[in-house]
Every structure is written in C-alpha cells, then in structure tokens.
C-alpha cells in the first residue's frame, strides 16, 4: 500500500521523522513502512544536494541504526533509495545517533550527510529517521522540506551490492578513548582501578562498556542489559524512566561500583548513579555538568529547558557563579539558543535538558550521551585520585520538597489557538489576583507562589498543556495545583481529571 501524502506529512516529529514501523500493538497501524522510509531517504538526497551544492552522484552518505526489531528492514529501504540516487553509501551497522553525526566530522570519513534509523526511547513497534548535515541535525522546517520531496518521489530499487560497509562505532570509540587519555594523561589504561557499570537498556549503547571503558582499563563487571534486543525486554531504555533508574542504581550498589552510567536507546542521552546510590539525573545532572565545566568557563551561561528547579538556579548562580538561562522545552531549542549566545559573544559551554539531552560547545553542540559520560568519567577519576568524591561537585544543591507534572489534554481541533488563549487568560487572571509572573519567560506562563512555582505551557507537538509544579514544602504541590485550577476555570476543553489521579 502506497503511503498517502497525509500519512507521509504526519510522520514529521519536530526535527526528525517517527512512526509505527511494525504491527503488534492494537490500534497502532503501520505508518512508517519500508516504502515510506525509502521515499523519505530520496527526499533527504534532494535536500542534501541542495544544501551542499553537489550533484547527487557526488554525495557521501552514512547510515546507522539502533537495536530496534524493524531496524534492519528500514535501513535496507533507505540504502536502496540512496544507491538509486548514485550516492556513495556507507552502512555503519549498529551505531549511536551522535556517532552518525561524527561520521561527517571525523577526517577519516568526512561524509556529506548521515541518517540514523531510531525512535529513541519509544516502544518496540516504533521507528524513525534522524538526519545530519555538516551543520548538525535537521530543523523542523528541513523535515517539512524532506517530506514534501518524499511525497513526490516514487519508491526506488537501488543496488545494495554497491553499499560500502564500515564498523564506524569502533572509530567513534577511538575518538572517545582519545579524549579520556588526553584529559587524564595517565597512559593507555587511565581508568584502571575504576569500577564502572553500564546499563544500555538493550539499546545500542553496550559499546561504551566494552569498547571504551574496558579498553581503558576499567572494571565493568556488574554491567547490565548490554546485549542489543529491539524488544527491550528488561525496561524502557530511557534515563527518565523510574524502573530504568532503579535498575542501574541496584547494579551500582550490588557491584559496589564507583559509578553507574545509563543510556537511552540511541545514546544521545544519559544519566548516572554515584557509589552511594544517589541518582545524578535531571537537575542534578545539569548541576554536575556545570560544575565540571565552570573552572574552564567562569561566569558563563548554562542554557536549560524551562522546567528546571529554582534550587538549580541558586546552585548555578550562587555556588558556581554562572548564569542560568531557562529557555524552551525541546533539545533543539536549547541547543540553538546556546549556539546563538556564543555567536553573539556570550560564552555558553552547555545546553542541556532535564531529559538528559546535553550538548557542549566544545563538541560541535552535539547532544551526545556518551560524550557527557566521558566528561563525567574524567571528573570521577580525578576526584578519586585526589581522595575526593564525585558527589562533592554538587554539594549544596538543594531539591524541592515536592515536584509533579500534570498533562492536560486539549479536546479541541485547533488546540494551538485554544492553548494560546488559555495562557493569555491565565496571565491576566494571575495579575489581577496579585500572583507574580516570573520574567523573562521564553515559554508558557511561570507563576511564583510563596513556597514554589507553576509553569503552564503548550506541548511542542501534541494537543496537551503540561503543568509543572514544584514546592519547597510538603503538601505544597496540591495547594498550587488547586490555585491553578481556580485560575483556569471556564476552559472546559481542558482535561482537569488529571488532578484527581
């Protein structure tokens, strides 16, 4: 069945493409078929030729995939389209999303563009395509251009025998190992004496334990779920998932390890667990990465998403003497703002979301979980050698007494206009009630209460209004939630039932 124009355009997911790739979940028909992936790859060739000014036959394009069960079939469909266009095509086999961008950067490969077959942490039946050029990942407008070209394109039957094969992840790991060796200056095995466990969640990240840590002398015994398995039988490969974080915490404590690292499916996100079982995720991960970078970037600006805590702001500005810029949700938004600041003369070494997406200016503004892990490992090794704990880097970081997110669905076809009206009305009602709005605000409406705050915003892609609340006292979240419901009275298209759960 040929993918319709409407179905094709609905595969857009912000700055990449995602859809249902295989049957198996009731009520979720296949939308990202092999035929659709093939035509989308043709659209990318057209886009890349326009971007580079090269003929299609002169392009060099690399393709990788994560461990998803549909990965082989989707990748083959992509390869058929690329070879039909006459491009030089390299199959990088299983890889990480950041590695596929590095195939453009590293001098031994120097690709013009790359494609990663992945749907990040989504369920096993989903898959998607992420695209890179020399300028980084594609933007939302680029995806629209690629999909419009895909609508026009017929399915292509290229010659797979022309595809070159390369174990690129090995070259990428060499790059990571070199970074660690140079930073520590302790010979070929600078991690000897360090015990580090990894949870890859049966995604693509098992290489970090075997090809980075092991090769640098670390003890990785006790690592879990390193074997690729696209059904994700143990837990969702997502550092934001409670079950996933519980698994790596247990592995660290049972192994008596110095550090635990956990990656999402395609390794563009990570979180960590310290030797005492303390989770380094969300605000704590941001604080630790900022503390690691602060000596090299004094007084610089850390760009985060909008839902970070007041306690993080106090730590960054009061303890580290950095500037904290709360920007919009969406890792591309955060990264683009970091790039804009640096180009305008404001030093900003880090763009990072509470989700674990973190990009460093020193690493091509690439959100790379493995690179964040490298920075963490270097700091951990130096701390152990000096007789200090890694936890000392975030000493003084406070935590809210309570935090919760409510996601209110919008039962309205034009949900964006409806949601924008909700925000404007909330702003007016809050002012009339004497409730201060935090400014500047780059997304939604953030209201300041005596013991906490509330942020109401529109979802980036879905007909939902997430409401994040943090409180410095027990029971404070409910108090603030009750007040927010009062301020939102009359908006009957909002699903208030979430407050009863």
pLDDT of 319 > 80? The answer is yes
pLDDT at 146 (0 to 100):
98
Q: Kindly report, residue by residue over 144-176, the tens digit of the pLDDT.
A: 999 999 999 999 999 999 999 999 999 999 999
Q: How far is CA 177 from CA 204, 239, 333, 368, 407, in A?
A: 18, 23, 30, 15, 41
> What does each C-alpha distance from 30 to 14, 24, 67, 428 come to in angstroms?
20, 9, 19, 44
pLDDT 10s digits, 457-497: 999 778 999 999 999 999 999 999 999 999 999 999 999 99
- 3-state class of 95 per DSSP? coil
**What are 163's two structure tokens?**
């595809």
Query: Which among 475, 479, 150, 468 is positioned nearest to 308, based on CA atoms?
Result: 468
Q: Give every CB contact of residue 106 below 8 A, 6+ residues apart in sequence.
A: 171, 172, 175
Indicate if the pLDDT at residue 402 is higher than 80: yes
Residue carrying the six token digits 């007789």: 387
Q: Report yes or no: 359 and 327 within 8 Å, Cβ to Cβ.
A: no
Q: What is the bridge-based pairing of β-strands 60-65 and 16-20?
A: unpaired
pLDDT digits (tens, 9 = 90+) for 330-347: 999 999 999 999 999 999
What are 37-79's pLDDT values in tens digits?
A: 999 999 999 999 999 999 999 999 999 999 999 999 999 999 9
Q: Which residue has the tokens 């303390």?
A: 278
Per the listing, tokens 């013991």 go with: 451
All domains in the chain, ordered by first residue: 5-166 (3.40.120.10), 171-394 (3.40.120.10), 402-500 (3.30.310.50)
Whether 1 has a pLDDT exceeding 80, the answer reads no
- Whole-number Å distance between alpha carbons of 403 and 281: 14
pLDDT tens track for 336-378 = 999 999 999 999 999 999 999 999 999 999 999 999 999 999 9
- Strands (E) in 38-97, as ranges, are 60-65, 88-94
- CA 109 vs. chain centroid, Å, equals 25
């Amino acid at each position: 069945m040929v993918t319709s124009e409407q179905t094709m355009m609905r595969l857009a997911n912000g700055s990449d493409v995602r859809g249902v790739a295989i049957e198996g979940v009731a009520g979720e028909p296949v939308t990202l078929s092999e035929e659709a992936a093939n035509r989308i790859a043709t659209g990318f060739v057209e886009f890349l030729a326009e971007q580079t000014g090269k003929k299609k036959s002169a392009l060099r394009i690399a393709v990788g995939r994560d461990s998803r069960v549909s990965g082989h079939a989707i990748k083959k469909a992509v390869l058929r389209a690329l070879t039909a266009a006459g491009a030089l095509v390299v199959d990088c086999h299983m890889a990480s999303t950041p590695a596929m961008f590095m195939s453009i950067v590293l001098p031994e490969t120097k690709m013009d563009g790359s494609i990663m077959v992945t749907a990040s942490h989504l369920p096993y039946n989903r898959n998607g395509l992420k695209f890179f050029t020399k300028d980084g990942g594609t933007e939302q407008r680029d995806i629209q251009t690629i999909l419009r070209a895909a609508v026009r394109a017929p399915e292509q039957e290229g010659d797979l025998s022309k595809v070159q094969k390369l174990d690129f992840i090995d070259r990428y790991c060499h790059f990571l190992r070199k970074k660690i060796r140079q930073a520590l200056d302790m010979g070929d095995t600078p991690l000897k004496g360090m015990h580090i466990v990894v949870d890859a969640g049966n995604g693509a990240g098992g290489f970090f334990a075997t090809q980075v840590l092991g090769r640098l002398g670390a003890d990785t015994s006790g690592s879990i779920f390193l074997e690729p398995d696209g059904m994700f039988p143990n837990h969702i490969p997502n550092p934001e998932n409670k079950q996933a974080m519980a698994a790596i915490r247990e592995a660290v404590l049972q192994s008596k390890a110095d550090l635990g690292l956990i990656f999402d499916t395609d390794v563009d996100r990570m979180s960590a667990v310290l030797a005492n079982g303390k989770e380094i995720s969300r605000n704590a991960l941001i604080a630790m990465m900022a503390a690691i970078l602060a000596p090299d970037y004094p007084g610089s600006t850390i760009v985060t998403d909008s839902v970070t805590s007041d306690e993080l702001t106090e730590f960054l500005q009061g303890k580290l003497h950095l500037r904290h810029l709360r920007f919009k949700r969406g890792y591309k938004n955060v990264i683009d703002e970091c790039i804009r600041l640096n180009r305008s003369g404001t030093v900003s070494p880090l763009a990072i979301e509470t989700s674990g997406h973190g990009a460093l200016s020193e690493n091509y503004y690439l959100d790379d979980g493995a690179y964040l892990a490298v920075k963490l490992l270097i700091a951990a090794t130096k701390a152990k050698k000096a007789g200090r704990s890694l936890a000392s880097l975030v000493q003084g970081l406070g935590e809210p007494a309570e935090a919760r997110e409510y996601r209110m669905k919008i039962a309205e076809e034009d949900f964006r206009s409806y949601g924008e009206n909700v925000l404007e009305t909330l702003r007016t009602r809050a002012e009339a009630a004497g409730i201060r709005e935090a400014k500047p605000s780059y997304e939604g409406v953030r209201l300041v209460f005596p013991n906490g705050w509330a942020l109401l915003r529109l979802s980036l892609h879905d007909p939902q209004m997430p409401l994040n609340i943090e409180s410095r006292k027990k029971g404070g979240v409910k108090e603030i939630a009750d007040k927010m419901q009062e301020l939102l009275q009359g908006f009957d298209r909002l699903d208030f039932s979430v407050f009863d759960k």
